[in-house]
Structure 1
Amino acid sequence: MKGWSLPTAAAVVAATIFFSLSTMALPAASAIVEHTFVVNQMNMTHLCKETLVTVVNGQVPGPTIEVTEGDSVTIHVVNKSPHNITIHWHGVKQRRNCWNDGVPMVTQCPIQPDQNFTYRFSVAGQEGTLWWHAHVSCLRATLHGAIIIRPRLGASSYPFPKPDREIPFIIGDWWAMDLAAVARRMKQDNFFDYFPSASTINGKLGDLFNCSGVAEDGFVLDVEPGKTYLLRIINTALFSEYFLKIAGHKFTVVASDANYVRPYTTDLVVIAPGETIDALVVADAAPGKYYMVAMPNQAPLPDTQTPEPSTRGMMQYSSSSRPGNGAPVAPVMPDQHDVVQSFYFHSNLSSLRHPRHPLAPVPKRVDEHLFITLGLGIACRRGLNCDREDEKENILVATMNNISFLQPTAPLLAAHYYHVGANKDELQELPDKPPKVFNFTDPSLIPIGPKEKALERTYVATLARWFRYGSVVEMVFQSTSIMQGDSNPMHLHGHDMFVLAQGLGNFDAAKDRARYNLVDPPLKNTVVVPNLGWVAIRFVADNPGVWYMHCHFEFHLSMGMTAVFIVEDGPTVNTSLPAPPVDFPSCGRKDNLVPDEFYLQTQEITASRIDGV
């Protein structure tokens, strides 16, 4: 294995710099869109219980960032909470701007309590729906909001009928407990005793939930007959992929992850954590009230069954808003365990062919091939050997190619940029393939027992993979059945991925590569690896920096289903990572050291290893 050094936990500090908006009116030029995000805590009451939650500007969901393609965005984050905070701009490509990607101890030191930091980034070359969220374990459940990027030529330039109204539609979950405590217990106790209390639409629980017999408020969409509505659907949940239906109506899916897709009509949207789906809904039913139901799905037995609460809002016609117009119509939902519906939905996505939106060419040459298995394993909490039967000595972890990610104690991006560090601390290279080939999707491996025991041993390490600038990378993500049969929404920061093909069961290169869509595959920043299935993707490593690749289920992320992809500088200034912002947050040191002085001080990372398979 390759050894690579890490830095110490500190950074250069300076005062926060605030941009001022230009007073000149330049209607044809790009603008600077500026927000201040004050992160603090407040009490919210749901289900007859008051819960202390961490929020931005006193609201859940947080503020929507509305911009036009080509604009620059400036977000002043003022941390008045007791937690270390970073904000990730999910799906924003951050071209040569990895410093602003917002991943703690990967791209930056977190913003500490009573400290500020200003994020600055561009949305050039992107249109559609993205989102922002805290990249701090579990806090994204209440720290999140939409990013809407409209075309520079206006809504009339959409490659679909211009909607009469656009609505952010944010699916989430509500936890009637302290999320920071959930995060701590998740890492200590393997999480499986802690679950959300409710699901939400735009922060509202809906009338499936009540407090002492009084129904919770639900999201209501008032519509007018014959008009068209663009729903910008975002799944911010920590835990679940969702089925979404509106009784009596159909969706026309037109975009996903801020990339246009060939429109197709369906009565069911399936959306995993991290994904966005743009869908048109025409108010073409008889005037009345129609439930909008978001229902989590989950893997069938023998997988562990967990509480999965649905929620619902209301779509009501303006002519039927008066009381006494009859009960709302409810949609017929799929079976909660019919996870193949997710496979069918995502298989229908393909990129749009349109004169104003030329297809991105799929690179034909491939420089690197990776086959990455996703699953669970058992590692020792400390030391090299431990008793498998002693739960106090073992920890359940999530893995990529049978290695679980160890959170670094210092920012990796600065170490990469300054080429410094001591040789005590090592990054481990993500292998091309798993250490052992077996029937990856054998359902008999799901129950904990003697059969999976031989495959469950693993270890933890800070897992990384290096790519030359401009390399074309092909990856096959293969889900495995070791102790679970979940799907996995895999999110790559800083890049979009061509989704070439997906399938159920084990990937077979001999026959499955012949099925690759090399003409119009969808471009995604979050790809759903099906339950006990696989996805093949391809991307160009042309954005220098250190980029997170991880599962967007919070428990899988916290348990280590993560790696960092390090893209080296290209041959020119315009293909290289620039210096960090002068106001970059520190990791807690009071003194202001220059980078070389600072990074020559190192701190050992202890990675517990055990004998692997």
Structure 2
Amino acid sequence: MKLLLFTLPFAFALLLASSFASGAVVEHTFNIGNFTVSRLCNNQVITAVNGSLPGPTINVEEGDTLVVHAINNSPYNITLHWHGIFQLLSAWADGPESVTQCPIRPGGRYTYRFNITGQEGEWWNANVVDVENNATETGLGPVDSDAYTINGLPGDSYSCSQNQTYKLKVKQGKTYLLRIINAALNEQHFFMIANHTFTVVAMDASYTEPYNTQVIVLAPGQTVDALITTNQTLASYYMVFTPYHSNPNVTINGNITRGLVVYDNATTASSPVMPNLPAQTDTSTAHKFYSNITGLAHGPHWVPVPRHVDEHMFVTFGIGLDHCNETGPNACGGLNFRLSANMNNESFVLPKGLSMMEAFYRNVSGVYTRDFPSNPPFVFNYTDPALETNGTDIAFAPKSTKVKSLKFNSTVQVVLQNTAILAVENHPIHLHSFNFHVLAQGFGNYDAKVDESKFNLDNPQIRNTVAVPVGGWAVIRFQANNPGMWLVHCHLETHLPWGLAMAFEVENGPQPWVLPPPPADLPQC
């Protein structure tokens, strides 16, 4: 069986090479800098790791210690956030700017350390930093990307990209393990290979019961491990990513990107076979995939669902508005408001001058407050479709930097409730530092009297990013056993700077469960 990965610009792949403990120290240096690549008939300067597109693959085994020396040779502030199969040896290595560390400044360096425990991207014909800065300045969303990529290649569905198509060469009668990573910034995606069926065996680096499907769905930041058996006739078959567009009223890049699965000795006379793709608005197919997979109970690294809950939270979230107090020709796109987002009617703002983690460690006040509400400030019909056009009276939320403080080792259950204010979408919510059990998910307003009976307490899927259904809800449960400051946010990139985030402050436990001192090379703000 062969393992293959799909990755993207400014990304790298982490391979768990074996299920047997090794105990070796694996050390890598990441030189982060700018270089020029040619895509879509344009030369574009991008920021990447070690001058490669896609980025490097790291081979490690379970039980290894991974040490990554990050050297910032780019002109931009840089942080690295890590998803997957490792445990932080230091809470200071999680990565999000202003939360667990200040950014690595140009010319600076920082070392990340992990224990190993068990992509497809987007392309702009523009400098992505300029794209982000323009969105921040106007208060509107960023311009749509020009293409999607598979392992950094747009594929032959784009003009001027016929010779930039990812090709996977396979032998007939073999089984291949694909590690599929959605590293797009703003779109969820369906993934298919014509005439082939996937067997999903892991999601977000946690084992699942084998699940057979012809279509895989991934939100940004999510990963899926799936087996395919090359049991078709000798030919070429398209692998295709097409966006899952949960709200047709929200503008996205609606293009697809294609790669090729090419059988050895296949004839080149016929055109590659295309899969029968779902409609980009096919929420039922997306929900079936997201909700039907279960965890591999009693398998390797299985964690049973904690049955006693110490903290119950009900968190609403969605898009909103903020009053525009800026001046200038591009301020807020000429409007008197700018787009915003919130959780429980609090629109999160990253602090300046000191990271939240360092403020927690040093007991510095004024960086954040500990009064993030456990429930929304008022109750309404959260998923009323009329809110998309008539919800402006409740769309404004105050800006704040609020956290929810948790006792060490407490069990937390969170109802994540989507709202329809201004735009109802499927939002992928990512929790840093912890995996969580997804107990249930559904559409409409969560009703504990009805929906608690749907909880899967035996073998729910374990994830670190849950795609909360469009106009719906999801219930997650986790154990707060890692002291520190941990961000919770929507993994649609445009929504985080708007404020669709909050943070958990997990208090220290008994030794050795205490936040250690910051490392000597921790970047300073």
In structure 2, distance between residues paired with 1:375 and 1:179: 25
CA-based RMSD of the aligned residues comes to 1.8
- 1:95 offset after TM fit, Å? 4.6
Which residue of 2 is the match for residue 395 of structure 1?
338
Which residue of 1 is the match for residue 203 of structure 2?
256
Which residue of 2 is the match for residue 586 of structure 1?
524
- 1:483 offset after TM fit, Å? 1.0
Which residue of 1 is the match for residue 379 of structure 2?
437
One-letter code aligned to 2:304? P
Which residue of 2 is the match for residue 573 of structure 1?
511
* Residues 400-419 of structure 1: pairs in structure 2 closer than 5 A: 400-409=343-352, 410-419=354-363
- 1:358 offset after TM fit, Å? 6.3
Which residue of 1 is the match for residue 6 of structure 2?
none
Picking from 306, 327, 333, the partner of 1:363 is 306
Mapped contact 2:341–2:495 kept (Cα < 8 A): yes
- 1:436 offset after TM fit, Å? 2.0
In structure 2, distance between residues paired with 1:28 and 1:465: 36
TM-score normalised by length of structure 1: 0.79
TM-score normalised by length of structure 2: 0.92
User: Is it true that 1:198 corresponds to 2:147 in the alignment?
Assistant: yes
Mapped contact 1:380–1:459 kept (Cα < 8 A): no
In structure 1, distance between residues paired with 2:163 and 2:145: 16
Of the two, which has the highest radius of gyration? 1
One-letter code aligned to 1:223? V
Which residue of 2 is the match for residue 452 of structure 1?
391
* Residues 195-594 of structure 1: pairs in structure 2 closer than 5 A: 195-211=144-160, 215-301=162-248, 303-320=249-266, 322-324=267-269, 326-354=270-298, 357=300, 359-382=302-325, 392-409=335-352, 410-421=354-365, 423=366, 426-427=368-369, 429-447=371-389, 451-570=390-509, 572-587=510-525
- 1:175 offset after TM fit, Å? 1.1
In structure 2, distance between residues paired with 1:547 and 1:358: 22
Mapped contact 2:88–2:94 kept (Cα < 8 A): no
Q: Could you report, residue by residue, the CA deviation over 1:528-585 in whole angstroms, capped at 9, with x for unpaired residues? A: 1011111000000000010111111000112111111110000x22111111112222
Which residue of 2 is the match for residue 42 of structure 1?
35
* Residues 61-210 of structure 1: pairs in structure 2 closer than 5 A: 61-91=54-84, 94-95=87-88, 97-123=90-116, 126-127=117-118, 170-192=119-141, 194-210=143-159
Distance verdict in 2 for CA 1:271–1:390, change over 3 Å: closer
In structure 1, distance between residues paired with 2:190 and 2:306: 33
Q: Secondary structure at the match of 1:248?
A: coil
One-letter code aligned to 1:272? A
In structure 2, distance between residues paired with 1:439 and 1:391: 32
Q: Could you report, residue by residue, the CA deviation over 1:134-182 in whole angstroms, capped at 9, with x for unpaired residues? A: xxxxxxxxxxxxxxxxxxxxxxxxxxxxxxxxxxxx1111111111111
One-letter code aligned to 2:341? A
In structure 1, distance between residues paired with 2:505 and 2:21: 37
- 1:94 offset after TM fit, Å? 3.7
Q: Could you report, residue by residue, the CA deviation over 1:466-499 in whole angstroms, capped at 9, with x for unpaired residues? A: 0000111000111111111111111111110000
Where in structure 2 are there 5+ consecutive unaligned residues?
A: 1-19, 327-331
In structure 2, distance between residues paired with 1:517 and 1:28: 31
Task: Work out which structure has the larger RCO, using CA pairs closer than 8 Å and 6 or more positions apart in sequence.
Answer: 1
Which residue of 2 is the match for residue 16 of structure 1?
none
Distance verdict in 2 for CA 1:28–1:437, change over 3 Å: closer
One-letter code aligned to 1:375? G
Mapped contact 1:250–1:281 kept (Cα < 8 A): yes
In structure 2, distance between residues paired with 1:29 and 1:584: 29
- 1:428 offset after TM fit, Å? 5.3
In structure 2, distance between residues paired with 1:87 and 1:551: 17
In structure 2, distance between residues paired with 1:243 and 1:395: 31
The alignment covers a number of residue pairs equal to 500
Mapped contact 1:378–1:457 kept (Cα < 8 A): yes
Distance verdict in 2 for CA 1:510–1:28, change over 3 Å: closer
In structure 1, distance between residues paired with 2:132 and 2:142: 12
Which residue of 1 is the match for residue 16 of structure 2?
none
- 1:390 offset after TM fit, Å? 10
Q: Secondary structure at the match of 1:513?
A: helix
- 1:92 offset after TM fit, Å? 5.2
- 1:392 offset after TM fit, Å? 4.4
- 1:444 offset after TM fit, Å? 2.0
Distance verdict in 2 for CA 1:586–1:521, change over 3 Å: same
- 1:194 offset after TM fit, Å? 0.1
In structure 2, distance between residues paired with 1:577 and 1:583: 17
Which residue of 1 is the match for residue 9 of structure 2?
none
Distance verdict in 2 for CA 1:444–1:68, change over 3 Å: same
In structure 2, distance between residues paired with 1:93 and 1:495: 11
- 1:307 offset after TM fit, Å? 2.8
In structure 2, distance between residues paired with 1:91 and 1:28: 17
Q: Secondary structure at the match of 2:361?
A: helix
One-letter code aligned to 2:514? S
Which residue of 2 is the match for residue 130 of structure 1?
none
In structure 2, distance between residues paired with 1:28 and 1:504: 42
